[in-house]
Amino acid sequence: MPHRVIACALSLSLVACSAADDVSAQAADPVIVAATQTFSVEEVATFNEPWAMTFLPDGRALITEMSGTMQLWSADQPPVAVSGIPAVDYGGQGGLGDVVLHPAFSENGLVYFSYIEAGDDDTRGAVVARGILVVAGDDSVSLNDVEVIWRQAPKVEGRGHYSHRIAFSSDGYLFIASGDRQAMEPAQDTSNTLGTIVRLNDGGSVPDGNPMDGEASAETAQIWSYGHRNILGLAFAPDGELWDMEHGPAGGDELNRVEPGINYGWPVVSNGEHYDGTDIPDHDTDTSFRAPAIWWTPVIAPGGMIFYTGDMFPDLHGDVLIAGLSSNAIIHVEIDGDAAREAGRFTFDNRIREIEQGPDGTIWILEDGEEGRMIRLTAGG
């Protein structure tokens, strides 16, 4: 389908942040933002509750819709539904989730995706599966030989905090974010994978060198880090370090540098509080837990995140870009070692669920909800 230009010369100014916004645990002085980034903004497609996207080497993209449909988007024709997706338990925060390509996709055609699987007695949990992408024509796309390679354990009741983001490291390991499922306490119990990030081989087996390798529980051996709440952003920096972006409770959204064996504190500590107003001790009250590099109150309600590595926007190169739901924004964060600071926000009219970088350095976003638009950002305007 042809692109529809919705704002051919829209200038999106960076919003200055102040210390009063509680932007960062490290920032004592106001953050002054002088720069302005100008985008050309195009709507290219519309999807039903889109959740994630990933680009193929040729510029086409796979888009997941929460109800259980994956679409192949192309610039020159309407999106085509991808067959072969297993049954998805859709509802609440759950459904079809993330989608990424195997690092050797050009050779093996493997696509990894996450979704929610129903269990016994009204329980459910996230799974990660993979299949071979086969495009047989303009209107025939399928995932063949689909196999589940990981299951969140245990399955529990409820429909929240699945997380199920996926990322590959440069050395080929598979990292999966596993949310606390709104059960809280399991995030401190390393006999299960709730509230953790796990590291696996690309086929789902446990690699040597995980922090708790050799422990009695098979789930324990998968764990890379724990004490997490609801991770909706997971990405590797250009230097190879893993970072996550997770929702706090009432306040306290946090960006963390993820290291092996580290406990990030949830639910014992948080820079937010419980929804009923009950206090939670801040991270600085117990240094045995790792504090976030930056945290937000009021919250930004993060969706996906990327490290921008393209050349189209040189002022953003190497920085974090976070999709903001309640904040209706792309949040721009600069990293300096273990520290981080918010450099500004690009504001939009709607909730932003997902952000990705195109093969040519363009920035792409998916709006949240029904009739969520897929929007391309290019230089100029």
The residues carrying an active-site annotation are: 161
**DSSP 3-state of 127:** strand
Q: What are the structure tokens assigned to 293, written together?
A: 């590099």
| Number of neighbours of residue 188 by Cβ within 10 angstroms | 17
Alpha carbon distance 312, 283 (integer Å): 38
DSSP state of 182: T
Q: Are 39 and 362 in contact (CB under 8 A)?
A: no
Distances (CA, A) of 253 to 190, 228, 295: 23, 11, 5
What are φ and ψ of residue 316, in 5° steps?
-105, -5
Q: What are the structure tokens assigned to 190, written together?
A: 């390393």
Residue identified by tokens 């916004």 is 21
Q: How far is CA 213 from the centre of its chain?
A: 26
Buried b (16+ CB within 10 A) or exposed e, 64-98: bbbebbbbbbbeeeebbebebbbebbbeebbbbbb
Query: What is the number of H-type helices and E-type strands within the chain?
Result: 2, 26
**DSSP 3-state of 373:** strand
